[in-house]
């Protein structure tokens, strides 16, 4: 009886020592892993971009996209002043929160104008190369668009697009202009100053 008890105690002692040794090994491995991850400095998005061999044009496009988001920082939704703005409606040019915005056929639009978008047939009026057109004409386009919408409830869709020019290995900035079919001739007359800059036929 005593011999059996001694054997049981010995087995238990061996198990306890084994568990203790295993715990020590696991703790040491954890500390070593923690030390190695501590020495790795996380890179910011900017540093990560800089460290890679990315063409300057792509870096520029990335920066532009980042700046577009920065322009909305601190601004709020026109319909929900308690919520931060997340984007701009392609019809009204007003800024809205995530709840108010939706995307249909690559057009970002306020949900309240979704029926207007879906119930109308839209025609591409112009495709403008921003660099060739120049900021003055783009600003005038936006002024006319705002006037038509606010005073006559005539919608225009303007959309920024990026296209890769393979010949010169460059990302180029374009503005697409769309109008409803029934408004297209009228809109073309009002935006006739853009006709010489239209590149729709070249794309």
Q: How confident is the model at residue 167 (pLDDT cuts 50, 70, 90)?
A: confident
Q: How far apart are CA 131 and CA 191, in angstroms?
A: 18
pLDDT per residue as tens digits for the range 130-166: 999 999 999 999 999 999 999 999 999 999 888 888 8
100 against 33, higher pLDDT = 100
- Using CA atoms, how far residue 185 sits from 107, 116, 194, 202, in Å, is 22, 19, 14, 21
Residue ranges per structural domain of the chain? 43-72, 74-119, 121-203
| DSSP state at residue 76 | B
Q: Look at strands 107-110 and 101-104 and give their pairing.
A: antiparallel
């Amino acid at each position: 009886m005593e011999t059996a008890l001694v054997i049981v105690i010995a087995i238990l002692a061996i198990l306890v020592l084994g568990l203790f040794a295993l715990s020590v090994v696991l703790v040491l491995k954890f500390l070593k892993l923690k030390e190695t991850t501590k020495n790795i400095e996380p890179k910011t998005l900017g540093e990560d971009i800089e460290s890679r061999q990315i063409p300057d044009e792509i870096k520029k496009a990335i920066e532009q996209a980042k700046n577009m988001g920065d322009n909305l920082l601190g601004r709020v939704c026109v319909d929900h002043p308690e919520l931060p703005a997340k984007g701009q409606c392609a019809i009204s040019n007003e800024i809205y929160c995530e709840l108010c915005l939706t995307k249909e056929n690559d057009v970002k639009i306020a949900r309240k104008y979704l029926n207007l978008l879906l119930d109308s047939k839209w025609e591409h009026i112009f495709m403008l190369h921003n660099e060739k057109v120049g900021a003055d004409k783009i600003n005038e386009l936006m002024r006319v668009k705002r006037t038509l919408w606010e005073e006559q409830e005539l919608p225009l869709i303007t959309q920024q697009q990026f296209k890769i020019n393979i010949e010169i290995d460059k990302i180029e900035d374009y503005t697409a202009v769309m109008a409803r079919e029934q408004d297209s001739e009228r809109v073309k007359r009002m935006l006739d100053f853009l006709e010489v800059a239209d590149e729709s036929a070249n794309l």
